[in-house]
Amino acid sequence: MNRFLLLLLAVPLVAQDPRQIIIEVQKRQHSDSQRYEGTLEVTSQGNQVATKRWVYQRIGSFGNSKAILRFTAPAEVKGVGLLIVNHPDRASDQWMWRPAIGRDQRIALQDRSTRFFGTDFSFEDLEERDVDQYDYKLLADEDGMWKLESRPRKSSQYEYSYFWIKKDNYTFVKIEAYNKKGLVRTIDYKNYEQIKGIWTARLTEVYDVTRKSRTILKYEKLEYNLPMKDDDFTLQALRRDL
Amino acid sequence: MILLRLISWPYARKHLLRCLLTTAGIVLGVGVFVGMRTANKSVLAAFNQTIDRIAGAAQLQITAGDAGFDEDVLDKVRELPEVRAAAPVIEATVGTGQNNLLILGVDMLGDRSIRSYDLEGNDDAIDDPLIFLAQPDSLMVTKKFADEHGLAVNSKLPMRTMQGDQVFTVRGIMKPGGLASAFGGDLAIMDIYAAQKMFGRGRKFDRIDIALEEGTRLEDATAKLQALLGSGFQVEPPSSRGQQFESTSRMYALASNITSVFALFIGMFIIYNTFAIAVTERRTEIGILRALGATRGQIRTLFLTESAIAGLAGTCVGVLFGIVMARAMSGYIGGMLTEIYGVAQSPGDLTLDPWLIGTAMAMGLVTSLVAAVLPARGAARVDPVKALQKGGFQSLGEGENRTRRRWAMAFGVASVAAFAFNRFGIMTYIGYVLAILAAVLLSPALSFWLSRALRPLLAGLRPVEGALAADSLIQAPRRTSGTIAALMLSLALVISLGGLARSSYDSLAEWMRIALNPDFFVTTAETLSSRSFVFPASLADGLRAIEGVAEVQPVRSVRVMVKNAPIMVIAIDVGLVAKRVHLPPVEGNSDEMYRLTAEEKGVVVSANFARLHDAHMGEVLEIPAPAGILRLPIVGVVDDFSDQQGTLLLNRDLFIRYWHDDSVNVFRVYVTPGADAGQVRQRILQAFGGQQRLFVLTNREVRDFITKLTDQWFGLTNVQTAVAVLVAILGIVNALTVSITDRRRELGVLQAVGGLRNQIRHTIWMEAIAIGAIGVLLGLALGAVQLFYSIEIARRDLVGISISYAYPFQTALILIPVILGSALLAALGPAESAVRGSLIEALEYE
């Protein structure tokens, strides 16, 4: 009897739709726009640390958003920008702007797996994809977290990824991303705070397993739902210097 | 074996010097063959290695000749599902003082799908990838280049670019190996978009390197890409880039083949001569052997074996000599091709081809055996009874001489007949060989007649010594005819090479006079051959605005694959240029051809293109261009020396439309009559020199540069000339050594009857000079014939350019004292040996 009761109690948890979990995550983290100033610390295998700063702005939300990221420091990279236009049904379009040579460059799909400007992120990691672009599987439910497997339906450098999502506030704790050869990188989300009612990680740590290097991204002056214009998220806007 | 040990070995030991001299021809022939071919192969291998290393994982490369194509082609290519990675590339070479530096402009974001920048595959090669991308002055160099130039990360490297003098920063150093060893390690990587600016390439790429999805067949992907891009593009594996190089080095290979075959041919005569003398010398020995029961076959085998051993020894030394020569030549050829094409390199290691060495050894051995066939047969036929009698030497029978003369006449007639059919390529070669054979067969008779003709002169100079020297030649023609034939062939080779150079220079000078008549050439490099940098078309207006400039003619030259060969397309404003330049037509009407080309109704081709690629007036050429295949009839053929593979002259507007390229390699600038050319030059430099990479070359400087390139090309023939002269001198030394040894008894008798040592010396000296003089006379005469054939072969199969016949009198005048002096020098040793040897021994000889 007790066993049966236990089983009954367990049913809603095991039967929890992983897709619904992701939708709930996205719903809880939804904002119409976002802005933050990020500090990047890239620590190489040889413990050399390079620090850079950028300003990130986004309009729209998952699968239907546009974002511009522009480096502000050091001086050598100031003005270098990236425009990301996310689509609900396909991979994002990305353009890079290099003020020193005065031209933009489309980031080809084939290049999305490459490192994002010497950090341990890849260009693909900067995309925000729609929930329908992946298949999800719930693998485990333990320690107050769900462990989900996500497999991309369309082209991606990753074969699959594991997500750990906190059950109490539907926030990402960790992601492990795998390709055909095995684990590629891990992403840890830390220092969660509520900002305008949205649980927000103030630090993301990426570890490149192959290169054994680490990138820490600290989010500062993070704000949501600021008034922003679509016109500020175009190629013309990208080409504008700071 | 026993015979070899008991008979041959003691003889060889006794005549060691002669043996060495005998094999010298084989050494040189095999050496030249191995040396030149190995040098060519090594340069080609180095080039292919560079291509291979630069190509990385690329399975296909997309090009449109070397003109480049628009960036949007990349997006199209990336759309194909078969394409895993497509990486654009710009390739250019720049001078850095010591060496040329190959700069590879790549897309730093995606290029690693194709190329690996260091051995460990990590990113430490670049200090900060973002700074590398953000700053257009970023360069990544190889460890080797960094070490040679004392560079470290953040070191500065100044370079003159299309945006003026700029200082580049080394932001990464590639570890040795892999890509870093391409171009001999003189390699730098920069961002492709920065490279476009640096080299003035606009928004164009030179090529796209492609890696395919797993499981995609190369043929399928090639077909799909070709269909996608159209036939104006070439979609080929990286290895096919060696084609251009191979076609260039093919010329050197053919030229060197002719020289080495000639050297072997000359060597054959030296061996023949030595063996013929040896048979005569050793007839007593042969007689004894025959008397003791040795068969004719055994005697023949003995001499053939001796020859084979000599040939083998000569071949082995020749191979070693060839390898040493290849080491020196490869650097030279690599440097020369760099000057011409800007992409070659000196190979680090020699590429030794076992097949080539095997062929060379076989050639040496066969030459040696063939040379010994007649003497061996003569030895086998020696009558033991006669051989054991003391007496005169066997001499050339009148019957034998007459037969040779008849054959010579027949070959001579056949050679002339072949000339009548020389429109068939092979007939030229047949006629050439027949003419040489006729001369060789006639040489004994000619030597005899000339010796007789020289007798009064020699006797007039020194009654006793002169007469003795002339008689020696007259009485023993077999002893000297081989040497004279060898000398004749050697000198004929020298004359033909010298004549070819002289004729080429004359024709080139005439072409330069007509075609290169502007006062200045505004270029992006110190040389006209470098096409790494290009000017924007807008500079033309700037130049026209300079005070004192009367006319500016923009020229764009690109290499395009036409008829499966990399042909130079020269795009000019034909209407404008034709007013100042009228190259005499080889085919077609001069005014008409320029009019039709200016109206974009045809193309004028160079004579070398027409000849080398079998193109004719009226034929519609298919010229691949990024906008599609350009089909134009040939409306004229002119002699043009711009490129060894041939040139096509197009109207500039047509080129701009089909290649989407209005950039300019060279501006031809004419100065207003009466204006001070020096001041105009200064004004151009002041106006534009600081803003961009720009050189103003005077007409004289351009002509000197072209002459220098031609000098380099003929520099190779200097090696061949040196070999020919060396063989000639060796031949004389050999003949005299043989002659003295042969006549020791005779010379001993002379001394015994009161002949003074000086008289003996003078006799030998005069004999040597007489041999030299006869050889020079025959050589200069045969050289005239050989020059004719050399020009025909060069015109037909090597460079395709019409070269007017010009006999190299200067070379001939130099050869006379050189050969006569060498003959005299060669006689000093043997003469001293003759007078200082023991009289008793000499009289006991034999």
Contacts 24+ apart (CB under 8 A), B247-251: B247/B565, B247/B566, B247/B645, B248/B337, B248/B340, B248/B341, B248/B644, B248/B645, B249/B40, B249/B43, B249/B44, B249/B333, B249/B337, B251/B644, B251/B798, B251/B799
Whether the CB of B166 is below 8 Å from some CB of chain A: the reply is: no
Consecutive H or E run containing A229: none
Do B47 and B77 fall within a single domain? no
Burial class (CB in 10 A: 0-12, 13-18, 19+), B552: buried
pLDDT digits (tens, 9 = 90+) for A211-233: 888 999 999 999 999 999 999 99
- How would you classify residue B800: left for phi > 0, otherwise alpha for psi between -120 and 50, otherwise beta? left
Burial class (CB in 10 A: 0-12, 13-18, 19+), B145: buried
- In B, minimum Cα distance to A74 occurs at B131
Q: Which of B205, B236, B267 is the last residue of a domain?
A: B236
Do B368 and B293 fall within a single domain? yes
User: Is there a contact between B647 and B611 (Cβ–Cβ < 8 Å)?
Assistant: no
A87-114 CB burial, b ≥16 within 10 A, e <16: beeebbbbbbbbbbbeebbbbbbbbbbb
DSSP letter string, A139-153: EEEETTEEEEEEEES
Per-residue pLDDT at B343: 53
* Residue given tokens 């700069």 in the structure block: B103
**B179 is a domain residue:** yes
Do B641 and B655 fall within a single domain? yes
pLDDT digits (tens, 9 = 90+) for B588-633: 888 899 999 999 999 999 998 998 888 999 999 999 999 889 999 9
Chain A residues with beta carbon closer than 8 angstroms to that of B197: 101
Per-residue pLDDT at B573: 94
| Chain A closest-CA separation from residue B106 CA (Å) | 13
Split at pLDDT 50, 70, 90, the class of B306 is: confident
Interchain contact, A117 vs B133, CB within 8 Å: yes
| Chain A closest-CA separation from residue B172 CA (Å) | 13
Helix axes B809-836, B477-515, angle to 10 degrees: 150
Do B539 and B684 fall within a single domain? yes
Interchain contact, A110 vs B197, CB within 8 Å: no
Task: Give B423 or B68, the one with higher predicted confidence.
Answer: B68
**What is the pLDDT of chain A when averaged over all its residues?**
86
Nearest to B110 among A76, A111, A211 (CB): A111
Lowest mean pLDDT among A210-214, B37-41, B95-99, B774-778: B95-99
Query: Looking at this protein, which amino acid is placed at residue B215?
Result: G
Interchain contact, A118 vs B130, CB within 8 Å: yes
**B527 is a domain residue:** no
pLDDT digits (tens, 9 = 90+) for B681-699: 999 999 887 778 888 999 9
**B520 is a domain residue:** no
**B482 is a domain residue:** yes
Does B529 have pLDDT greater than 70?
A: no
Chain A residues with beta carbon closer than 8 angstroms to that of B128: 50, 118
Mean pLDDT of the B298-302 span: 85
Task: Give A80 or B18, the one with higher predicted confidence.
Answer: A80
Do B262 and B357 fall within a single domain? yes
Domain definitions of chain A by residue range: 18-239
User: Is there a contact between B205 and B73 (Cβ–Cβ < 8 Å)?
Assistant: yes
Split at pLDDT 50, 70, 90, the class of B95 is: confident
Does A35 have pLDDT greater than 90?
A: yes
CB atoms within 10 A of CB B505: 16
Does A4 have pLDDT greater than 50?
A: no
Do B831 and B743 fall within a single domain? yes
Whether the CB of B109 is below 8 Å from some CB of chain A: the reply is: yes
| Chain B closest-CA separation from residue A165 CA (Å) | 32
CA dist B706 and B521 (Å) reads 13
Whether the CB of A53 is below 8 Å from some CB of chain B: the reply is: no
Determine which of A82, A90, A105 to mutate to test the interface with B (most B C-beta atoms within 10 Å). Answer: A105
Determine which of B133, B135, B169, B192 to mutate to test the interface with A (most A C-beta atoms within 10 Å). Answer: B133
Query: Looking at this protein, which amino acid is placed at residue B245?
Result: F
Does B125 have pLDDT greater than 60?
A: no
- Phi, psi for A100 (deg, rounded to 5): -65, -30
What is the percent of chain A where pLDDT is above 70? 93
Chain A residues with beta carbon closer than 8 angstroms to that of B191: 101
Interchain contact, A115 vs B123, CB within 8 Å: yes
Number of structural domains chain B divides into: 4
Q: Which of B374, B370, B369, B368 lies closest to B404 in space, CA to CA?
A: B374
Q: Which of B532, B580, B591, B590 lies closest to B552 in space, CA to CA?
A: B580
Q: Is the peptide bond before A74 cis (omega within 30 degrees of 0)?
A: yes
pLDDT digits (tens, 9 = 90+) for B171-225: 888 888 778 878 778 889 999 999 998 888 888 999 999 999 888 899 999 999 9
Q: What residues form DSSP beta bridges with A69?
A: A56, A82
Q: Which two tokens stand for residue A206?
A: 């990426």
CATH architecture of A18-239: Clam (2.50)
Split at pLDDT 50, 70, 90, the class of B339 is: low
Split at pLDDT 50, 70, 90, the class of B802 is: confident
Chain A residues with beta carbon closer than 8 angstroms to that of B116: none
Q: Which two tokens stand for residue B454?
A: 């020289």
Chain B residues with beta carbon closer than 8 angstroms to that of A98: 133-134, 136, 193
Per-residue pLDDT at B805: 87
DSSP letter string, B150-205: T--TT-EEEEEEBTEEEEEEEEEEEPSSGGGGGGGG-EEEEEHHHHHHHHT--SEE
Per-residue pLDDT at B845: 47
CA dist B650 and B600 (Å) reads 8
Interchain contact, B110 vs A44, CB within 8 Å: no
DSSP, collapsed to helix, strand or coil, labels residue B60 as strand
Mean pLDDT of the B788-793 span: 85
Do B211 and B283 fall within a single domain? no
* Residue A115: DSSP 8-state: B
**B515 is a domain residue:** no
Q: Which of B495, B133, B528, B75 lies closest to B340 in space, CA to CA?
A: B528
* Chain B residues 182-221 with a CB less than 8 Å from chain A: 191, 193-194, 197
User: Is this structure's pTM higher than 0.90?
Assistant: no
Interchain contact, A52 vs B130, CB within 8 Å: yes
Domain extent at residue B828: 399-506+707-846
Query: Looking at this protein, which amino acid is placed at residue B626?
Result: P
Does A1 have pLDDT greater than 60?
A: no
Does A191 have pLDDT greater than 90?
A: yes
DSSP letter string, B286-354: HHHHHHTT--HHHHHHHHHHHHHHHHHHHHHHHHHHHHHHHHHHHHHHHHHHHHHHS-----SS----H
**Cα-to-chain-centroid distance, residue A99:** 26
Angle value at C-alpha B464, between B463 and B465, nearest 5 degrees:
105
Q: Which two tokens stand for residue A61?
A: 């939300």
Do B120 and B147 fall within a single domain? yes
Does A17 have pLDDT greater than 60?
A: yes
Sign of CA dihedral B604, B608, B610, B613: negative
User: Is there a contact between B300 and B377 (Cβ–Cβ < 8 Å)?
Assistant: yes
Q: Which of B340, B365, B394 is the last residue of a domain?
A: B394
Q: Give the Å distances, CA to CA, from B845 to B281, B315, B389, B475.
A: 11, 33, 14, 20
Which stretches of A153-192 are DSSP H helices? none
**Contact residues for B299 (Cβ-Cβ < 8 A; gap 6+):** B286, B289, B290, B376, B379, B380, B382
What is the percent of chain B where pLDDT is above 70? 85
Q: Which of B394, B418, B435 is the last residue of a domain?
A: B394
**B175 is a domain residue:** yes
- How would you classify residue B215: left for phi > 0, otherwise alpha for psi between -120 and 50, otherwise beta? left
Split at pLDDT 50, 70, 90, the class of B846 is: very low
Query: Looking at this protein, which amino acid is placed at residue B802?
Result: S
What is the percent of chain B where pLDDT is above 90? 21
**Contact residues for B425 (Cβ-Cβ < 8 A; gap 6+):** B796, B797
Lowest mean pLDDT among A9-23, B286-300, B364-378, B790-804: A9-23
Do B733 and B801 fall within a single domain? yes
pLDDT digits (tens, 9 = 90+) for B626-679: 988 999 999 999 988 888 778 999 999 999 999 999 999 999 999 999 899 999
DSSP, collapsed to helix, strand or coil, labels residue A105 as strand
Alpha-carbon torsion, ordered B613, B618, B620, B621, to 10 deg: 40
Query: Looking at this protein, which amino acid is placed at residue A218?
Result: K
Q: Which two tokens stand for residue B787?
A: 């020059």
Split at pLDDT 50, 70, 90, the class of A199 is: very high
Does A166 have pLDDT greater than 60?
A: yes
User: Is there a contact between B702 and B319 (Cβ–Cβ < 8 Å)?
Assistant: no
CA dist B66 and B490 (Å) reads 43
Nearest to B84 among A96, A110, A211 (CB): A110
Per-residue pLDDT at B2: 67
pLDDT digits (tens, 9 = 90+) for B346-398: 566 777 888 888 988 888 888 888 888 888 888 888 777 766 665 444 444 44
pLDDT digits (tens, 9 = 90+) for B129-178: 788 888 889 999 988 888 888 888 889 988 888 877 888 999 888 888 77
Lowest mean pLDDT among A23-27, A34-38, A100-104, B348-352: B348-352
CA dist B9 and B479 (Å) reads 23
Per-residue pLDDT at B394: 45
Q: Which two tokens stand for residue A194?
A: 């509520």
Split at pLDDT 50, 70, 90, the class of A165 is: very high
CA dist B669 and B521 (Å) reads 6
pLDDT digits (tens, 9 = 90+) for B312-331: 888 899 899 888 888 877 77
pLDDT digits (tens, 9 = 90+) for B410-421: 888 888 888 777
Nearest to A118 among B83, B86, B129 (CB): B129
**Cα-to-chain-centroid distance, residue B763:** 42
| Chain A closest-CA separation from residue B659 CA (Å) | 23
Chain A residues with beta carbon closer than 8 angstroms to that of B87: none
Nearest to A108 among B110, B133, B197 (CB): B110
DSSP, collapsed to helix, strand or coil, labels residue B520 as strand
Q: Which of B599, B557, B594, B597 lies closest to B579 in space, CA to CA?
A: B594
Q: Which of A97, A102, A101, A105 lies closest to A70 in space, CA to CA?
A: A97
pLDDT digits (tens, 9 = 90+) for B468-494: 888 888 877 766 777 788 788 888 888
Split at pLDDT 50, 70, 90, the class of A138 is: very high
Consecutive H or E run containing B721: helix B699-742
User: Is there a contact between B742 and B40 (Cβ–Cβ < 8 Å)?
Assistant: no
Q: Which of B186, B190, B92 lies closest to B140 in space, CA to CA?
A: B190
- The interface predicted TM-score of the complex, written ipTM, equals 0.82
- In B, minimum Cα distance to A122 occurs at B109
Per-residue pLDDT at B424: 62
**What is the pLDDT of chain B when averaged over all its residues?**
82
Do B362 and B419 fall within a single domain? no
Interchain contact, A118 vs B78, CB within 8 Å: no
Per-residue pLDDT at B789: 87
Paired sense of beta strands B628-638 and B603-606, if any: parallel
- Phi, psi for A56 (deg, rounded to 5): -120, 135
Interchain contact, A80 vs B78, CB within 8 Å: no
DSSP, collapsed to helix, strand or coil, labels residue A161 as strand
Alpha-carbon Rg of chain A, whole angstroms? 19
